[in-house]
Amino acid sequence: MEPEANEMRNKLIAWWGSIIGVCLIIAFGSIFVTRAYLARRGYEMENWRPPHIARLETDLDAINRTGEKVSLGQLRDKVFVAGYQYTDCPAGCLGLAAIMKMLEEEFGNDPQFRLVSISVNPAGDTPAKMDAWVKEKGVDSPDWWFLTGDPEAFSKYMISKFKFYATEEITDPALIATQGPYAHDQRLAIVDGDANIRGYYDVLNPQRADAEFQRLRRDLKMVLDPKLKLADFQ
């Protein structure tokens, strides 16, 4: 019986040894993964910047609501937030305007900061109509452009350069009454002083609107002030 007992004891030792070995591997692996994560997190907190997603390689000529001929190229060296809107929109565009107004109130004293609203419907948005809409809605600021111009040029530019979603015309009368005649991209975009798009923000998304707005505010601060780090927002 003694050889059998020794064999059993040896099997138990080998079994427990295997268990302990696996546990040690898991423990050391967890430590390694944790250290790697902390190192990566520390690097990001120190060095992360809002990414360069796209670039406005070409200019866009437009007419401001004042009737003045302008181009986006005039905003080089400025940081601006751009939205895609039109005056006959019954809901979403008003929401975007309200959010952009909050940005104007927070960042408007920064000489680098601008706002740009680009018309989804340039054929219908004359400068006079846009100017009247701006004053009616209480978003009248000299540093906030409301742009109209050539419909085809605007549409192509927003898709190919801004990388906004293509606009679709709504034909259902019931939907037009609540959503307006156009289904369009309702995100906001940050553009830096070198015409790089640094982020898109789905600020009207019902599930994450507040989180997107806070992300927009954070990224905008970091683009306006390159010295800021993620750790400054913790």
- Tell me if 81 sits within 8 A of 189, measured CB to CB: yes
Give 21's DSSP letter. Answer: H
Please write the tens of the pLDDT for every residue from 69-90: 999 999 999 999 999 999 998 8
The percent of the chain in helix, strand and coil, each rounded to the nearest 5, is 50, 20, 35
Tens digit of each residue's pLDDT (9 = 90 or more) over 28-67: 656 554 454 444 555 455 679 999 999 999 999 999 999 9
Torsion of CA 52, 57, 61, 64, to 10 degrees: 10
DSSP 167: P
Per-residue pLDDT at 30: 60
Architecture of domain 54-226: 3-Layer(aba) Sandwich (3.40)
Question: Which pLDDT score is estimated for 177?
Answer: 82
Supply the pTM of this predicted model. 0.81
Closest CA to 126 of 141, 143, 140, 147: 147
Cross-strand partners of 188: 83, 201
The span from the CA of 24 to the CA of 150, in Å, is 68
CA distance 16 to 83: 64
Are 143 and 113 spatial neighbours (Cβ–Cβ below 8 Å)?
yes
pLDDT at 33: 47
Q: What are phi and psi of 170, to 5 degrees?
A: -90, 130
Structure tokens at 156: 């192509």
Q: Is 178 exposed, middle or buried (0-12, 13-18, 19+ CB in 10 A)?
A: exposed
How far apart are alpha carbons 154 and 125 in whole angstroms?
A: 12
* HSE of 90, CA atoms in CB hemisphere, 13 A: 8
Task: Yes or no: say if 197 and 116 are a contact pair by the CB < 8 Å rule.
Answer: no
Q: What is the pLDDT of residue 50?
A: 96
One digit per residue, pLDDT tens: the chain, 234 residues? 556 656 666 665 666 666 776 666 776 656 554 454 444 555 455 679 999 999 999 999 999 999 999 999 999 999 999 999 999 988 889 999 999 999 999 999 999 999 999 999 999 999 999 999 999 999 999 999 999 999 999 999 999 999 999 999 888 888 888 888 898 999 999 999 999 999 999 999 999 999 999 999 999 999 999 999 999 987
Looking at residue 179, its amino acid is Q
Whole-Å CA distances, 113 to 90, 92, 103, 135, 140: 28, 23, 10, 21, 16
